[in-house]
Amino acid sequence: MIEIKNVYKNFGSLKVLKAVSLTIQKGEKVAIIGPSGSGKSTLLRCMNLLEEPTYGEVWLDGKLVTPVDPYLHPDIIAESKTFKKLLAQAKEASPKASEKALAEEIIARIKKEDLLKKHEGSSFAQKSRALYKENIIPINLARRRMGMVFQNVNLFNNMNVLENLITAPVSLKLKTKEEATETALRLLDRIGLKEKVNEYPSKLSGGQRQRIAIVRSLCMSPEYMLFDEPTSALDPEMVGEVLELMKELALDGMTMAIVTHEMGFAREVATRVVFMDGGQIAEEGTPEEIFGAPKNERLKDFLSKVL
């Protein structure tokens, strides 16, 4: 399960993600659609920390991928100097009020007005650190469990196909060279590209490259696959073969998050569709709900343009 909790992402003053929360259960195929610039790629990249969220947390199977966001933990906020100061003031102002009610009010205010400072005292820091230490999964381990496929493919240009497929599992000591080669050849055979095993990426077509990039991720035996518009940079006649492979993966039960402009594919393969607009999830639901009975005006507008 991938849990995105209240994620914000700013690039300088540009607010690209605003309070995005999304949970992807094992086995789900979540299609993320929306206009260009709405933050789809950024959301995907926050999941494997290619971008670090400005606020919020990402959890992978109950393990923390990002740093701790104190705003998500009232018990941590309650250790802050700011909280203690505000509570003391509030108690003075209304001595009769229950302390619990005051505390809740102040925590809500701290969250709303973003009042936490860089240094909030040692007990605050300790509590954050303890939570972090208890739950953190090293990012490189998390990434091995989440394969990623890019719009511009990014096969390793200095390696031939086989090396592209086996370098990571072998040099990370997940498989022996023999095992990795066997897996790689089996998967290449499955996508009908076994004879390309010694070619360099530059000698392959766009569609072949993208399918091999997908296989490269599969060679790490990931539990999740993140796709960022895998067919958008391809010539139209090559889109089909890539979508076909993704469909097969979906049928195999892979958990997938797919940013895509292929509405037909989303409708057919996704178990859930998320519509992003202006850095927020504007609507989500089953493909039937999203495509059949959209509620959000922007979604209707978007669909009328792309369908």
Partner 1 sequence: MLQGLENTAIIAVAGLVLGFVIGCLLATFKLLPGKKFWARLPGRFTDLYVALFRGTPMVVQLLILHFVLFPALGVDIPSVAEAVLAFGMNSGAYVSEIMRGGILSVDKGQTEAGRAIGFGYGRTMLKIVLPQAVKNVIPTLGNEFVALVKETSVVSFIAVIDLTKAFQNIGNSTYEYIVPYLMLAAIYLVIVLGITGLVKLAERRLRAGDRN
Ligand X SMILES: Nc1ncnc2c1ncn2[C@@H]1O[C@H](COP(=O)(O)OP(=O)(O)O)[C@@H](O)[C@H]1O
Strands 14-24 and 146-149: unpaired
Contact between 143 and partner 1 per CB under 8 A: yes
Q: Which two tokens stand for residue 93?
A: 């102002």
Per 3-state DSSP, the chain is made up of helix, strand and coil in percentages (nearest 5) of 50, 20, 30
Strands 29-33 and 272-277: parallel
The residue among 78 and 125 lying less far from partner 1, judged by its C-beta, is 125
Q: Which member of 53, 147, 207, 279 binds partner 1 (CB under 8 A)?
A: 147
The residue among 5 and 143 lying less far from partner 1, judged by its C-beta, is 143
Find tokens 């091995």 and name the residue. Answer: 144
Q: In what order do the strands lie in the sheet with 146-149?
A: 146-149, 224-228, 255-259, 29-33, 272-277, 280-285
Q: What distances in angstroms separate CA 21 from CA 7, 18, 120, 126, 277, one per listed residue? A: 6, 9, 26, 27, 14
Find tokens 């209240």 and name the residue. Answer: 6
Contact between 41 and Mg ion per CB under 5 A: yes
The residue among 40 and 196 lying less far from ligand X, judged by its C-beta, is 40
Contact between 50 and partner 1 per CB under 8 A: yes
From ligand X, partner 1, Mg ion, none, which one binds at residue 16 (CB under 5 to 8 Å depending on kind)?
Answer: ligand X
Biggest CA-to-CA distance, the chain = 80
Q: Which member of 97, 108, 141, 306 binds partner 1 (CB under 8 A)?
A: 141
Q: Which member of 10, 82, 135, 152 binds partner 1 (CB under 8 A)?
A: 152
Instruction: Kindly state the smallest distance separating residue 246's Cβ from ligand X, in Å.
Output: 18
Number of residues that bind partner 1 (CB under 8 A): 28
Q: Which positions lie near partner 1, rule CB under 8 A?
A: 48, 50, 140-141, 143-144, 146-148, 150, 152-158, 160, 167-168, 171-172, 200, 202, 213, 216-217, 220
